[in-house]
Structure 1
Amino acid sequence: MSAICVYCASGPVDQTYLDLAEQTGAAIAEAGLTLVSGGGNVGMMGAVVQGARAAGGYTIGIIPEHLMAAEVADTDSDELIVTGTMRERKRLMDELADGFITLPGGIGTLEELFETWTGGFLGVHDKPIALLNHEGFYDPMLAWLRDLATRGFVAQHALDRLTVVPDLAGALAVADSTVR
């Protein structure tokens, strides 16, 4: 079974974003895919796993020990993997996933996106990466990246490696080639 890793906010966010995360988890489950997440039960991260489980999906959460101690772990995950470090967490998320969807989020989400995107650009993996630009959330960042490209700091083929989509159906189609 293919697995999709979702990067998203763990902090408190507007209900609109929580709904998007829940719908994302449900869509992954309904497509017969496994959800890989950061193993948290709060914010959008909690909503995405709740949506997947409500739709009968299989969830794998990967959380570092220090967050487990903070009692924000999704202990209802079908598999909950506790790592020693954040780096180990990201490595396992990357290894277990066949594709990636990035929802709106903050610096942690961006860090995960950029690391996975850079890995794909450098040939470390060839897994698809979808950036869900929900209601233009990422428009300022995308404008900045295009500006960096015009200045020669980002190659056009690096920009081409990231697929930006406006909706969940498009993100799921990109992240998993069996969904078409």
Structure 2
Amino acid sequence: MALGVFCGFSAGPSERYVDTATALGAGLAACGHRLVYGAGGVGLMGAVARGAAGGGAPILGVIPEFLRAKEMGDHLPPQQIVLTKDLLERKRVMIDRADAFVALPGGYGTLDEVLEVVSMAALGQDVGPLVLLDVDDDWWPLLDHVERLGRRGFVRDTGILRLARTPEQALDMVAEAAAARMPVPAGDHQHARAAR
């Protein structure tokens, strides 16, 4: 499947962040997935792309023209690049081209992308599952806030956000959630019933 990865342009406060991003890229390649990401060559973006490229995964990088002009010096692994007019179009292209999503820690842009997918899912839109990949309790403040919103009646489904502790767990979770969304092919209803 095409796996959208949202993550920071920064490398994070320790080597664990880059190591986790690299392992996620390598893991998605080993699973035969395609990487869809923000086309950055540094920080966590660059790490996940290099991990994916090292494993032979096809890569689709999506970036606004104004950012590409600033980052032309970035070393990018081989990939197909889609240039967009702005950040809004970049987000839309990434969401449209991905079957599922994993979010590593990041800044405002990463939060924006995560909340866009979560909002679409909460409103019943056809969007792939999303898993938050934690490195050092980065996502707990968001999960706590969503839980608080749920207690106050502002959020109905607090279970949309799934949390993984390792790249392997994140990949397993998105694969399982994506498979659950797939309709059972005609003739396979017997097998599905037997498996329950």
Taking structure 1 as the reference length, what is the TM-score of the superposition? Answer: 0.91
SS where residue 163 of structure 2 aligns?
A: strand
Inter-partner Cα distance in structure 2 for 1:54 and 1:153: 43
Offset at residue 36 of structure 1 (A): 0.4
Offset at residue 176 of structure 1 (A): 2.5
SS where residue 60 of structure 1 aligns?
A: strand
SS where residue 62 of structure 1 aligns?
A: strand
Offset at residue 137 of structure 1 (A): 1.7
Inter-partner Cα distance in structure 1 for 2:172 and 2:131: 9
Superimposed CA distance per residue, residues 87-124 of structure 1 (whole angstroms, 9 cap, x where no aligned partner): 11111100110000011111111111001111111122
Question: Aligned residue for 2:34?
Answer: 34
Inter-partner Cα distance in structure 2 for 1:75 and 1:51: 12
Question: Aligned residue for 1:97?
Answer: 98
Question: Aligned residue for 2:154?
Answer: 153
Offset at residue 17 of structure 1 (A): 0.5
Percent identical among aligned pairs is 36
Count of aligned pairs: 176
CA contact (8 A) 1:36 1:60 kept: yes
Inter-partner Cα distance in structure 1 for 2:83 and 2:66: 9
Question: Aligned residue for 2:144?
Answer: 143
CA contact (8 A) 2:3 2:101 kept: yes
Q: Select the structure of larger CA radius of gyration.
A: 2
Offset at residue 75 of structure 1 (A): 4.4
CA contact (8 A) 2:49 2:77 kept: no
Question: Aligned residue for 1:87?
Answer: 88
Gaps of 5+ in 1: none
Greater shift in the superposed pair: 32-41 or 69-78? 69-78
Greater shift in the superposed pair: 20-29 or 76-85? 76-85
- Aligned-pair RMSD on alpha carbons? 1.7
Question: Aligned residue for 1:176?
Answer: 175
Greater shift in the superposed pair: 70-79 or 95-104? 70-79
Cα distance change, pair 71–24 in 1 and its aligned pair in 2 (3 A): same
CA contact (8 A) 2:28 2:35 kept: yes
Question: Aligned residue for 2:63?
Answer: 63
CA contact (8 A) 1:132 1:168 kept: yes
Offset at residue 76 of structure 1 (A): 3.3
Offset at residue 54 of structure 1 (A): 0.8
Task: Return the letter of the residue paired with 2:70.
Answer: A
Task: Return the letter of the residue paired with 1:124.
Answer: Q
Inter-partner Cα distance in structure 1 for 2:18 and 2:134: 15
Offset at residue 138 of structure 1 (A): 1.1
Greater shift in the superposed pair: 9-18 or 44-53? 9-18
Cα distance change, pair 74–149 in 1 and its aligned pair in 2 (3 A): farther
